[in-house]
């Protein structure tokens, strides 16, 4: 029980610091440092836009490669759980990693769900909801996100 309480307190602190920092820090470099401190794995040469929301309960399940662009107002979720006891909370209770490969570009207002991945040099169109694996070197968009056009070999 004590371990659960400390986990919840750590998650709450992480959530508050990320919420404030991701909106107020003026430079992408500072937002990247904040995300790394929270447990997200981020490569070099990345750009992180304002108001990126990442899973604060399982940030270690999120990995972002080198030279990745994530535009403003995106969400990366690595779990489906609820503290409320209900029939749904017993069905939807899992944690899955989210991976964004080198050179990927996530446009504004995208959502990446648990278990999703974005391939190398893949472009995810604005407002897309990524629910599965998107291939390398493709333009992908939609709800749910689907490959639309190969960009290059």
- Residues serving a catalytic function are 79
Paired with 129 in beta bridges are: 111
Are 104 and 68 a contacting pair, CB within 8 Å?
Answer: yes
Q: How many residues does the chain have?
A: 153
Cβ(61)–Cβ(41) below 8 Å: no
151: which strand partners? none
Residue 119: beta bridge partners? none
DSSP calls for 43-80: -SS-EE-TT-EE-SS-GGGEEE-TT-EE-TT-EE--EE
């Amino acid at each position: 029980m004590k371990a659960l309480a400390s986990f919840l307190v750590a998650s709450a602190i992480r959530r508050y610091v990320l919420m404030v920092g991701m909106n107020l820090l003026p430079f992408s470099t500072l937002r990247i440092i904040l995300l790394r401190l929270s447990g997200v794995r981020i490569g070099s040469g990345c750009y992180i836009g304002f108001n990126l929301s990442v899973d604060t309960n399982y940030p270690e399940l999120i990995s972002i490669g080198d030279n990745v662009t994530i535009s403003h107002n995106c969400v990366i979720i690595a779990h489906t759980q609820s503290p409320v006891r209900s029939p749904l909370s017993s069905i939807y209770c899992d944690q899955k990693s989210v991976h964004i490969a080198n050179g990927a570009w996530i446009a504004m207002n995208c959502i990446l769900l648990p278990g999703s991945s974005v391939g190398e040099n893949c472009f995810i169109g604005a407002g897309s909801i990524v629910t599965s694996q998107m291939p390398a070197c493709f333009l992908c968009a939609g709800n749910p996100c689907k490959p639309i056009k190969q960009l290059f070999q």
